[in-house]
Amino acid sequence: MSIRVIVADDQEIARTGLRMILDAQPGIEVVGEAADGRRAVELARRLRPDVCLFDIRMPRLDGIEATRSLAGPAVEDPLAVVVITTFDLDEYVYAALRAGARGFLLKDAGPDLLSQAIRAAADGDALIAPSITARLLEAFAHAGPASRPAPLIEALTGREEEILITVARGRTNSEIADELHITLSTVKSHIASLMTKLGVRNRVEIAMWAYETNRVRK
């Protein structure tokens, strides 16, 4: 089964380029396009794609608000959203992550990283451009969270603490498996347990929790 993607960007040339890149990847299919955020939300709710790829700066409804509408804390059945932008600005990343985005990329990321982000989001994973992962998550934490981190539902095991740190440092599941010498299925099991114990919905929120609680230091 192909990963079904919708692309939203107010620039037609950008949408066309993204569609060409994604359609050229095996197992990925662009099933819809939108030129503004409101249309993107309507399209996503109707088509229920596996992944939404949203630009940040769009008319009628920007990418952050569109993400919040489809993946925010109040959404019962959230969609996977990857945010892509030309602008490497901290406030955009903070807002995208808070809104529920599973990925954040710059438009110069290239086809390989773009397809990796789409596949990761479709798999319930997350990918943030390596050039900004640790710097921005740490800056996010130091800027002060919007609210105090929720208390643990259950204490973390030693292995879960290890995996928490690797997630916060931007490692993918495969990289974690290699680094800790465990299987990929074991990594996924531990991450599922972390989400339950932390009361979060994805690995991006796991990473934010780690920084907010000072689990990760320079």
Q: Is the pLDDT of residue 129 over 70?
A: no
Mean pLDDT of 50-55: 96
Mean pLDDT of 142-155: 63
Whether the Cβ atoms of residue 110 and residue 139 lie closer than 8 Å to each other: no
Single-letter amino acid code for the residue at 211: Y
Whether the Cβ atoms of residue 167 and residue 193 lie closer than 8 Å to each other: no
Mean pLDDT of 171-199: 90
pTM of the model: 0.72
Percent of the chain with pLDDT over 90: 50
Q: Is the pLDDT of residue 93 over 80?
A: no
* Top-confidence residue, 69 or 110: 69
